[in-house]
Each structure stands twice: as structure tokens, then as C-alpha cells.
Structure 1
Amino acid sequence: MSDTKAARARRSLDIPFIFFSGFMLAVFFAGGSSWSDEPHLILLRPLAFVVTAIGLWSLRLQHIRQFWAVWLIFGLTVLLTAAHLVPLPYDVWSNLPGRQVIVDIDKAVGLGQISRPLSMSPDETMNALLSLSVPFAVLVLASQFDGLRQRRALGVVLLLSFTSAAVGLLQATDADIALYSRQASQDVAGLFVNRNHQAALLALIFPMAAVAISAGVGMGLPRKIEAFAGASMCLVVVPLVLVTGSRTGLLVAGVALVLVFAFGLLPLKRVAIRPWVRYSVALASVGALVCATIWASRDVAFMRLEDQTEDLRWPVWQSIVDMLSHYLPWGTGVGSYVEAYKVLEPDNLLRPTFSNHAHNEVLEILFTAGIPGAALLLLALAFLAGAVWRGVRASGDAALFKRLGILVIILLAIASISDYPVRTPILSAVFVLAAIWASASKSLFHKSDHQ
């Protein structure tokens, strides 16, 4: 009887994981773009709602309780975004900072004193709210995983990330492969529309592969094969980061390589080779790949470091800082950056193209979500600091996954200084999974180790 109950329990745990694996496959092949009019989203978002509904069927209170900080931050994010869509009386919204232009337009077309939400672009705010469906599906499913399924989830994400790397490798050989019409023909963007997002994902492979080598991915393969596969992925990714041409990706990848060792994610003590030999071989391998890439004239990222002619980030950031006093304390509405920025865009920054994002998440959060958004960001940073403190003191596989989650969040935060990677469905899903890992308790992995 006990064996039957145990078998049923294992099957009940496998159901969320099976849906998670299938959903992540769909996310990676349809979620590489953050554009609201991307056709792929017509299929991806309804699928996210279906998967969420299935996941909620087996979700229990204890699942939410063990990752309560992640659920709290996510819930507050949903509430803040939804609040920006609530219709407000004319006397309220018309007196919000920066709304005089809308008042004048309504008066000119004869709409009168109508109700409007806080958002200056409700359609884009609704899109921002719907975009949370993908990370929410991952949160619902991954919250139910025990330690073994968390390892397997790492294996799934690592395999799909390397698939994007492999697609990028084909693109680097001038193969005509692009999943999105907006992707430039010369870009090495893998499963993304943007090479910067591809480079950010490639940088995440380093810590994920390190933990796969250390703790395994729970797929039943011999540990030596898992270690060989993880090491091979890292060696292949090094030149691919260079050929993406992403300066941000180059920085994030360099930080990732340093922090992998600083966070103790590799089991160097378990390898029967002198430490100086291990480090020398690792550095020599990486150096050889970098030199080979430069010799082959494919070091696009290094070449772009010297090219600052078309970089408008600094002028745009300066203009956003100047605009903050015009829209604070409530902001323009989550997701409304494009329309709100155009209202006050300086004449000297006008181009045939438009600024689709601030390319700095802190500035964009302040600009669109105002002081409440900044407060939510500070709360998330406080939880991250607590996770870092616990991660330093933890030990075993739980510590490895906790540090992995923290490192992934840090790397995506660094990438968000000059870009917007987490706004893509792929990296938003990875980000939520990393938050789950950062919140993982020792008991979660202890129980799975004794199943």
C-alpha cells in the first residue's frame, strides 16, 4: 500500500513538470520578442493561461508558503499594473502630473469630462498585464517542484538555452535562420529577435552549466556525462558571446565567469587535479577560444566597443531624467513608455525610428510606474539581499541552487542597466525560475534526496 501511495505521489509531482517542460519549449520557440504586436504571442499567451489553469488544479497552500516572497512580489506587480487600468473620475486623472495634453485633446475633439485610467496608454498597459501570463505559468508550476524536479527544470532550461546557442552558431555561419521578421539578417540572435537578449541568455549558461556539473540534472545520466556536457556547453558559448556583437552581453558573460568561481558553483575540490592545473587549463581553454574568434575576425562585440557613433542611450537617459519631474510621483502607466516619451521627446533626438524602451529598467520603472514601482523594486532588492545572506550560510545542493538563482538575477539585473531582457517571455520565465531557486530551502532538496 505504501508503495502504491508513493507511486501516486511521484506521478502527481511529474504532471506539473511535464507541463512545465512542454510550456518552456513553446516559450523558447515563440517568446524571443518583447514587441506587443508579435504574431507568436497569439498562440503563446493563450497557452500560458491554459497551462496556468492546469497548474492551479494541483497547487496547494504549502507550495505558495515555501516561496512566499516570490509570490508576494509577483502579486504586487500584477496589482500595480492592473491598478493603472482602473477608470478614474475626470477630476482625479486630469489633475495627475503630465495629463494636461490629454485634457487638451479631449477638449479639442469634444469628448468632454470623461473617465480615464492612470495609464496614458491603456492598450499598452493591458499588454503589459497580459505579458505576465508567461512568468505566472512558470511560477505556478515550478512552485510545486521538489528538489529532483528543480534539478530537472535546470536541465530543461539549460538544454533549451543551448538550443538557442546552436541556432546562433548556424546564424554566425551566414545561415538564413530567423524566427522573427524584425530580426536583422546579419544578427546572431538565436531564438531571439535581439542579439543583446541572446547574449544575456548565453551568459546565463555558465552558472547553469556549473550547477549542472556540481549537482546534476536528475535525468538519470552518469555524472561524468553530465559534467562533460556542461563543460562542452561553456566552451562553445565563449566564442558565441563574442560573435553576437553585444557589448552588454560581453560584460555580463565576463561577470558570470568570475562569479561562478566566487559563488563556489563548480565542485573543484571533487576533481583530483591540483588547483593551479585546473585553473590554468580553464583559462587557457577560454583564452584559446577568444583568440581563435578574434583571429577569425568574428569578434563583433570587441569591435562594437569602439563604435559609439550610433549609441543614443546616454542622451535618451538624460532626457528621461529631465522628464521624471513632469510625471512623478505616479508615472505614466506601466507599459506606456513609447507614447508618453513621444510627448516630451527633445527635438535633437528625433529620428526615423523611435525609442521603444528606455534601455534602462530602473529609469523605465520610475518613468512608467512612478514611486510605487520604485518601492516595489526596493522591496524585491531587500528580499534578494536576504537570499544572498542565507545563500552564503547554506550548504549542499540547496546552497548551489540558491546561489544559482541569485547569480542569474544579478546577471539579468546587470543586463537591464542598458537593455530590457526580462521583458521577453523567454527571459521572464527564466527570471521567475531563478527567483524560485533563490528562495529554495534546504528541506526541499533534502526530501528529494531521500525519495
Structure 2
Amino acid sequence: MLYLLCGATLLASLVLGGGTHSGFLGDVVVQLLSIPLLILALWAAFSDEPARKEKGRIALALCGGLTLVVVLQVLPFPFDTWSGGARLFSEGAETPFTLPSSWNPLSIAPQATWAAAVSLLVPLAIFCSVLQLDLTQRMVLCWGVFGFGVVSLALGFIQVAAGTESSLRFFEITNPTEAVGFFANRNHFAALLNVTLVLSALWLNATMESSLKSGGSRTRSILWLAAAGTLVVAVLAGLMMARSRAGVFIAAGVLAGVAAMMILHRLSEHTSEEPRHTWRGRRFSLAVAMFAALFAVHFGLAGFLTRFESNMADDARIPLTKTTLETALKGLPFGTGLGSFVPVYATVEKSADATAGFANRAHNDLAEILLETGIIGAALLVAFLGWFGRKVMTAWGRSPRDDDPRQAALARAATLIVALLLAHSLVDYPLRTTALSVTFAFFSALLVSPLSVPRVELPKSPSGGGRVRQRHTEAPVGGAWSPGVPWPESWQNRTTGT
């Protein structure tokens, strides 16, 4: 049930969660769907199985920490003592807030804080549930994300072909001349394409390995290999078509990481055919990369270069980030409250930076986190980056403990995806959309070791054969077996006359 509900919530989040702000009907549907999933994930903390209980307790601790942050921001405190938000507007400036001298919450926009807390339900439910899935289930969901990326890529090509009046653009406020897929914003579509690029390279590596082995040069293998290579080319073309500057620049780093991932995979192979296979694989990978670059340049370079016609110094992201960071320092120690960016920035925006529209996000998640959560958010961010750094070293620096090579490949791909979304968050706000926040939570959970399926080792057979390893999907009644637990009498070998 947990696995099926997790898959349904993940797919619904990707399809319906492409809006640039909260409040869309799709976000509400996904949030309602995530509630039973989160309950199931937390229920494992009270399980009798040690492995599930451990994962459940991790999920419970994470939920408790985030709940504490929200509660602290909506509980009343003396404004003049605790709230940085009060200091921002204490000099007689006209503000959209009512700041009486009585006790009030740390958040200067409590309703927005509650709305932001509700939006965290979906990625939190996905992370906590994926923790409790085994490797096979994780792989299936991973390829589900990959399939969604392919469908989104095809939709983007159709949107561009249909023109600005295409009915396949699902948001009223969107980029009408670029491909956006299921999103409202081309930059978020480009972030998803970069995720798809990593997964398509993973698929290319897997198909290349199977087709280059002896006896693997059959027509079916060659067709799959050609399809994987074509998809890599199409994803790069889609990135150029989206005309996202951040997406294209980050894709260059993604390609470098993918190349490193494939090289490490080749070095881990120890077969007599390794030199020949490695050389053939390198030639094919080089051919795919060269063709992808040429095709992408021919297909979308002209349109992409138009994004650089204006002065980069005039980009609104620069004053947005600068003003947000300045306001964040004034809002210390506890910030202005989750979800309060829009009303806060509307008050502190400099006249020289004013535009016809309004700033819905800081376009720099680091700066926005510091503004809204202060030192608490900064501490949580540092803790996450430290944890992520250790996981990167584990995935890339030494051989994983798991014997299954799929886990090593999946962990390395997950580190690339988490890193690219973090990098994109420095110049945009992909993690503020439901679809990409769920993607981030999903691949972050993949960095935690999967739920192990218990294995028991059978005794040697009477014929002198070796030990036979047998996999059990469920633990025996009374708990999982451990090496110190004796076998049931009915399972023991019996030899007549002894």
C-alpha cells in the first residue's frame, strides 16, 4: 500500500504541480493525497520490524523538526524582543501589516506561513515513504520519473510547433513562445530536462553495457541502444528550445558529472573483455556526445542566443537577491516567517528596482530561506549540506556496501540530480514548485540506503554442496532472524542413523 500510494502521489505531483506559486487546484489535490501517504510512512515508526522501525523513526524525527519550526513562527511572542520583522517596520514606514505592541507571532504573515507549511506536506510525504522502499521499488519509481520527463519533452516539442496559441499550455501566466511542458515556467521545465538528462545517461549506460557484452549485439539490443542515444540528443535539443540560460549552463556541468559516472562504472568492471568493451563504449559515447552537441546547436542556438541580447547586469535577479539578503540581515534572528516573501519585498523594494509586475520569489532560494527563517533556516541548510556532502563522498569516493551495482549507479545519479537542483536554486526557485520539490525529495531519499530484504543462509546440503542463500520477503513470525538465533527444529537437516 505504501509503495502504490507513493507512486500515485509522485506521479500526481509531477503532472499537477508545475505552478509557480501555491494555491492552484492541482497543488491542493496533491496535498490531500499526501496526507494518507505521510500517515502510512510515520506509522512504520511503531512497526515490529527493526528495519522499518528505524526508517519510520527517521521520518518521525524529520516531521517533528519541521513542525517545531512552523509552530515557533506562529506562536505569539513580544514583538519588541524577538521579532526581526518588527524591526523592519518600526521606523514609521507604511506597511501592509498591523503591528500592535501586544504579543504576536514571529511571522509577520501567519496565514502565509500556514500555507507554506501545508505545501511542505507533499515533499515530506514522498521523502519519508521512499525511505521505506526496497531497491527494486525505488528503481521502478525512478524510471517512472524518467518516463514523465520523456513525455514532458515530447509535450514541449508539440507546444513550440503549435505556436503561442497552443491549448497544451496549462497555465494562463506562462512563457508563450518557449517550451514549458507541464510547467508554467521555462526555467522549471529546463530543470526537469536536466533531471531527465541524468536518467537518460543512466539508461544509455545500462543499454550500452548489455549490448557490448559478448552475445549482446542482437538487433533488439542495438535498437534500445540507439533509442537511448537519441533521447540524450533530444533532451539537449529540448534544453536549447526552452531558452533557459541557467538550464543550459547547468547542463554542461551535468554532462561532466555523467561522464565521470560512466567512467567510474567502467573502472569497476573486472572482466577479460573489459579493454575491448571499454574502447567500444567510449567510441559510442563520444559519438553520441558529438552528435548531441551539433544537433542542439543547429536546432536551438539562434533562439537561445537571443536571451543574451540584453545586458546581463540589468537582470532583475541581481537586485532581487541583493535586497532580499539585506532584508534578511535586518530580520534576524528568526526571520519574517515562512511564505512572507511577497508582502515583505513589496514593502522594502527599492524604487530604482521597481517594475510593472511584482516579485513572487527572490529567484534565489538561499536568500529567501534566510529571509523567512533566519538562523533556524540557516542551521538546517548547513546541516543538510553537510549530510549531502557525506553522501556524495560515499557514492563517489569508495565502493558502496551494497553488492547490487544498481544501488551504486542510482546513488551517483541521485547526487547529480540533487546538486543540479541546488545549483539552479541559486538563480531561480525550482524547489518552490510542487513538482520539482517532490523530485528533490525523492532523489534525496535515494541517497539513504534502501530497505534491505532479509536474507537467511541455509546450512550446507548433505551432498557436500555449498551454502545456498535464500531471499525471504517477509520475516518469520516473532521477528527477523539474526545470526545468533537458532534454526527451527523442523528446518534442520536430519540424517537417519545419527
- TM-score normalised by the chain length of structure 1: 0.84
1:195 matched to which residue of 2? 186
SS at 2:75 equivalent: coil
- Verify: 1:124 aligned to 2:100, yes or no: no
CA contact under 8 A between 1:196 and 1:248: conserved in structure 2? Answer: yes
Moved more, 97-106 or 251-260: 97-106
Structure 2: where are the runs of 5+ without partners? Answer: 208-219, 457-468, 473-498
Alignment of 1:60-79 (within 5 A): 60=47, 62-63=51-52, 65-66=54-55, 75-79=64-68
Change (3 A) 1:66 1:398: farther
Q: Give the letter for the 1:22 counterpart.
A: A
Deviation at 1:238, TM superposition (A): 1.0
Which residue, out of 382, 393, 396, partners 2:398?
Answer: 393
Distance in structure 2 (CA, Å) of the matches to 1:68 and 1:230:
40
Deviation at 1:213, TM superposition (A): 4.5
Alignment of 1:96-135 (within 5 A): 98=87, 100-101=89-90, 113-135=101-123
Which residue, out of 247, 255, 259, partners 2:245?
Answer: 247
Deviation at 1:18, TM superposition (A): 1.8
Per-residue Cα deviation, 1:75-107 (whole angstroms, up to 9, x for no partner)? 53443233212222455456765254499889x
Per-residue Cα deviation, 1:254-299 (whole angstroms, up to 9, x for no partner)? 11111111133785577565355224312222123123314xxx64
Q: Give the letter for the 2:202 counterpart.
A: V
SS at 1:18 equivalent: helix
Change (3 A) 1:137 1:96: closer
Change (3 A) 1:215 1:437: farther
**What percent identity do the matched residue pairs reach?**
25
Which residue, out of 197, 209, 212, partners 1:206?
Answer: 197
Distance in structure 1 (CA, Å) of the matches to 2:191 and 2:133:
26
Deviation at 1:307, TM superposition (A): 2.8
Structure 1: where are the runs of 5+ without partners? Answer: 1-14, 217-221
Deviation at 1:233, TM superposition (A): 2.6
SS at 2:162 equivalent: coil
- Verify: 1:342 aligned to 2:342, yes or no: no
Q: Which of these two proteins has the greater Rg computed from alpha carbons?
A: 2
1:153 matched to which residue of 2? 141
Distance in structure 1 (CA, Å) of the matches to 2:365 and 2:470:
39
1:408 matched to which residue of 2? 417
CA contact under 8 A between 2:113 and 2:340: conserved in structure 1? Answer: yes
Deviation at 1:20, TM superposition (A): 2.1
1:162 matched to which residue of 2? 150
Q: Give the letter for the 1:186 counterpart.
A: T
Distance in structure 2 (CA, Å) of the matches to 1:285 and 1:313:
34
RMSD, aligned α-carbons: 3.3
CA contact under 8 A between 1:119 and 1:332: conserved in structure 2? Answer: yes
Deviation at 1:240, TM superposition (A): 0.5
SS at 1:116 equivalent: strand
Deviation at 1:386, TM superposition (A): 0.8
1:11 matched to which residue of 2? none
Which residue, out of 9, 20, 27, partners 1:34?
Answer: 20
- TM-score normalised by the chain length of structure 2: 0.77
Deviation at 1:316, TM superposition (A): 2.0
CA contact under 8 A between 1:242 and 1:302: conserved in structure 2? Answer: no
CA contact under 8 A between 1:207 and 1:265: conserved in structure 2? Answer: no
CA contact under 8 A between 1:210 and 1:265: conserved in structure 2? Answer: no
Change (3 A) 1:158 1:94: closer
Deviation at 1:152, TM superposition (A): 0.5
1:180 matched to which residue of 2? 171
2:320 matched to which residue of 1? 316
CA contact under 8 A between 1:361 and 1:420: conserved in structure 2? Answer: yes
Structure (1 or 2) with the greater helix fraction: 1
Q: Give the letter for the 2:136 counterpart.
A: L
